[in-house]
Structure 1
Amino acid sequence: MPSGRITKRAVDALTCDRGADRCFFWDDALAGFGVTAFPSGRKIYIAQFRKDGRSRRISIGEHGRLTPDEARSQAKIILGAVETGADPIADRRTARAVRTFREVANDWMSQHVTPKRKPRTASEYQRILNSHVFPAIGSKRICELRRADLTRLHARMAATPRAANHMLATISAIWNWAARREEVVFAANPVRGIERYAEKRRERFLTSAELARLGDALRDAESIGLPWAVDENGPHAKHLAKPDKRRVKLDPFAIAAIRLLLLTGARLREILNARWSEVDLERGVIFLSDSKTGRKPIYLSAAAQAVLADLPRIEDCPHIIAGAKEGAPRSDLKKPWAAVTRASGLEGLRLHDLRHSFASFGAGASLGLPIIGKLLGHSQAATTARYAHLDVDPLRRAVDTIGATISAAMDGAERRAAQPTRETRGDRA
């Protein structure tokens, strides 16, 4: 076997003998460091050593991608590790067996999220992974994931702080799931220590005056109709109907859905997907077989029951809020809600704000957070705690009690100051 100093010139000149499947060239300065050439012209740097009485050989890298000096440095590391008792080949096999973050995340989705979470939750997780996580770190082996990688990804999403924080929570959940399977270590979770962005919780509560305007708009929507939204300066504006005739009545099922959302505090899909078979008017409850938090009762006030009583039942449609497609519920309320909020001057109000408003009126009436949480179907008490500041009656009672105590103490001090002391009485005598 030829030997000598492995240099670029020596490696470029190395060729495989005719009829041989490969040939070797060994470095005479570093024992065990060499390069092998193949008939195809490909040349690979190698390191050869003895382990447990056997001669072993490991590839370092391809000539062209590595320079001879870079390959020599890698060979020194490998051969030095062998001297300390390590097995580079076994270590490399172990490293290759570690899965990428994408592979672990896909298993998390199929084995954990899909069978145990709601379809919409699974869809949101998949969207986050596909849009943000996989393009950035999907190809990294999960054990190689570092806090610096996630910090950079989090910073790139600074314009959407809520989504950025949700992305970190998703990665953390995947890591912890993998840790329970002993693929990684809990304590090494790279999400730990990354400061989350402050999120501005968007909560809108309707006032009594705004509720009145909303009610007027709903009554107009089912009686005389709501005005169109038109561009008076548009190219076809002159062909439009006269302003007093530009009104349209909304679908009665859409109007009923909006009223039920406000009167029950239910979530949008809970009302749209509710079925007549789940309604028990005698007890005043809709027993949902499934919801975001599982089986759930929606309690119906007299006003909510009146809305249901006025709704027609569509043949072959099991849903309370019938949609355009036969047998299916209404898919959404985007267009009717836009028309109602525009007519009532409440642009920007979200349908979910009706749920917040329902809770706010309950808190303002001092019904108690546990009761409100039950009505809303919250699975965690902390979720209902956001309405604690609206419960003004306990605060008013507290400040009245404190104020009365302080006032009484001050009045007592004034009376004592007004009473003459013995010395004063003696002086007067």
Structure 2
Amino acid sequence: MARLRRTTISRRTVEALTAEKDTVFWDSELLGFGVRVYPTGRKVYVVQTRAGGRNGKRVTVGRHGVISAEEARRRAALIVARIKAGEAPVPEPMAVTEAKGPTVADLAELYLKEVVAVRLKESSARSYRYAIDRHILPRLGGRPALALDHAAVSAFHHSLARTPSAANRAVEMLSRIYRAAEERELVPEGSNPCRQIAKNRQRRHERFLTDAEFRRLGRALDEAQAGGGAFMYAALAIRLLLLTGCRKSEILTLRWEHVDLEAREMRLPDTKTGPRTVQLSPAAAAVLAGMPRADGNPHVIPGALNGNAMTGLQRHWVKIRERAGLEKMRLHDCRHSFASRALALGEGLPMIGRLLGHSQVQTTARYAHLARESVHEAARRVSDRIEAGLYRDCPGPATAEG
């Protein structure tokens, strides 16, 4: 007969309990009171009754974290007393207890208010709000946060299978919501149901311009600039994207006060990774120096409304890329092409990260395969030159006379 596992049930002892398989640890003081520990870390308080047969049945008291060990002990004592009096135990069902806690929508609202609104730039905050409003709240918002388990999240992830990237982002967002709730002790540690959800495979949409494509795009930009007006400013914005490797938001929010042509610098006060200084090449500085300034508008790339920045760059880009025969190219690919050219010229990943304004090495590491290709190409050129020397006809070694 298996030996009963006994301990004094308290907050400290329960939080320290672990098990490789479902295991009940019985209280050493209150007979029949125990805590069931699952391999996942989930812990549930139970009472073993003798009503209804020799072995009786197990009654759920509540989940650890939803109710305290002290409250579970109090409820268990009442259940034991009712059983001894011949009455039904009538515990508060666990599902009801969990339903009294916060919903997924409650946790999402807190995350948006205390994390997204405080820590993120507006562009990033918009994408976070979209994932939450578009996917998480409609499907899961009304569910009790503590009732959401791994199976439910897996089903949620599968329901978005038609959009693999969006499915991955939604689960990652849900995981961040639970992590924030755990940090604030709104749910117990280990409540995050998103762990070990297998992500969908995603194809990276990276596009790098070839020499011929650069030439075609250059001609299309010349034509757009000649047209004047908004089309001209759109073409100039795209030139700056190509020549600086900047993000679209950095160029569109650029003000003349941020530009120092004498020092050949753009001092950006608020980028995705914080303030940064962009060093301008002579070509990029020349674009800015020759750019007409809109009266009364502080923005380098002015919009249609007085004082505002351009908002319709994508619309103009679609026309320009069609003229260049680059229908599948995205504006962000200008940034990728800048990085790929820098690598081809021998710049290392740390320098590429500085040029692009990356705050984390991992972000620049996406270009590592291009760095390898550049090294392979350099190795090929060197070995070809050596091989040509080895097999070139040449006179034999000189010999000394006498």
**TM-score > 0.5, shorter chain as reference:** yes
Contact conserved, 2:225 with 2:236, CA < 8 A, in 1? no
Among 136, 140, 157, the residue aligned to 2:139: 136
Counterpart secondary structure, 1:222: helix
Paired position in structure 1 for 2:301: 321
Paired position in structure 2 for 1:84: 80
Structure 1 residue 335: Cα displacement:
2.5
Write the distance in 2 (CA, Å) between the matches of 1:170 and 1:277. 37
Paired position in structure 1 for 2:359: 379
Instruction: Quote the RMSD (CA, aligned, Å).
Output: 3.0
Among 224, 234, 238, the residue aligned to 1:258: 238
| Structure-2 change in CA distance of 1:403 and 1:205 (3 Å) | closer
Structure 1 residue 294: Cα displacement:
1.2
Structure 1 residue 91: Cα displacement:
7.4
Among 89, 93, 103, the residue aligned to 1:100: 103
Write the distance in 2 (CA, Å) between the matches of 1:185 and 1:396. 54
Please say if 1:210 is aligned against 2:191.
no
**Residue type of the partner of 2:274?**
G
Among 148, 157, 161, the residue aligned to 2:160: 157
Identity among equivalent positions (%) equals 40
Write the distance in 2 (CA, Å) between the matches of 1:156 and 1:273. 38
| Structure-2 change in CA distance of 1:174 and 1:343 (3 Å) | same
Among 108, 116, 121, the residue aligned to 1:118: 121
Write the distance in 2 (CA, Å) between the matches of 1:78 and 1:390. 58
Structure 1 residue 207: Cα displacement:
0.3
Structure 1 residue 137: Cα displacement:
1.4
| Structure-2 change in CA distance of 1:404 and 1:255 (3 Å) | closer
Write the distance in 2 (CA, Å) between the matches of 1:187 and 1:89. 23
Counterpart secondary structure, 2:190: helix
Structure 1 residue 326: Cα displacement:
0.3
Please say if 1:300 is aligned against 2:296.
no
Structure 1 residue 397: Cα displacement:
5.4
Paired position in structure 2 for 1:283: 263
| Structure-2 change in CA distance of 1:330 and 1:83 (3 Å) | closer
Contact conserved, 2:117 with 2:125, CA < 8 A, in 1? yes
Contact conserved, 1:221 with 1:249, CA < 8 A, in 2? no
1:351-407 superposed Cα distances (whole Å, 9 cap, x missing partner): 1110000000001111111111111111111111121222244334567899999xx
Please say if 1:395 is aligned against 2:376.
yes
1:291-335 superposed Cα distances (whole Å, 9 cap, x missing partner): 111112222111000100111122211111111100111113122
Q: Which moved more, 1:166-175 or 1:327-336?
A: 327-336
| Structure-2 change in CA distance of 1:147 and 1:366 (3 Å) | same
Structure 1 residue 184: Cα displacement:
2.3
Write the distance in 2 (CA, Å) between the matches of 1:399 and 1:251. 43
Among 172, 191, 214, the residue aligned to 1:188: 191
Structure 1 residue 88: Cα displacement:
3.4
| Structure-2 change in CA distance of 1:141 and 1:366 (3 Å) | same
The 5-angstrom pairing of residues 237-248 of structure 1 reads none
Q: Which runs of 5+ in 1 are unaligned?
A: 1-75, 226-247, 406-429
Larger radius of gyration between Structure 1 and Structure 2: 1
Structure 1 residue 183: Cα displacement:
2.4
Counterpart secondary structure, 1:357: helix
Paired position in structure 2 for 1:4: none
Structure 1 residue 193: Cα displacement:
1.4
What TM-score results when the alignment is normalised by the length of structure 2? 0.71
Write the distance in 2 (CA, Å) between the matches of 1:385 and 1:326. 41
| Structure-2 change in CA distance of 1:100 and 1:399 (3 Å) | same
**Residue type of the partner of 1:254?**
A
Among 263, 268, 290, the residue aligned to 1:310: 290
Q: Which moved more, 1:272-281 or 1:382-391?
A: 382-391
Paired position in structure 1 for 2:14: none
Counterpart secondary structure, 1:286: strand
| Structure-2 change in CA distance of 1:397 and 1:218 (3 Å) | closer
Write the distance in 2 (CA, Å) between the matches of 1:92 and 1:159. 32
Write the distance in 2 (CA, Å) between the matches of 1:92 and 1:157. 27
Q: Which moved more, 1:104-113 or 1:214-223?
A: 214-223
Paired position in structure 2 for 1:199: 202
Contact conserved, 1:267 with 1:352, CA < 8 A, in 2? yes
Please say if 1:339 is aligned against 2:319.
yes
Contact conserved, 1:175 with 1:186, CA < 8 A, in 2? no
| Structure-2 change in CA distance of 1:384 and 1:100 (3 Å) | same
Contact conserved, 1:316 with 1:327, CA < 8 A, in 2? yes
Contact conserved, 1:369 with 1:385, CA < 8 A, in 2? yes
Contact conserved, 1:286 with 1:298, CA < 8 A, in 2? yes
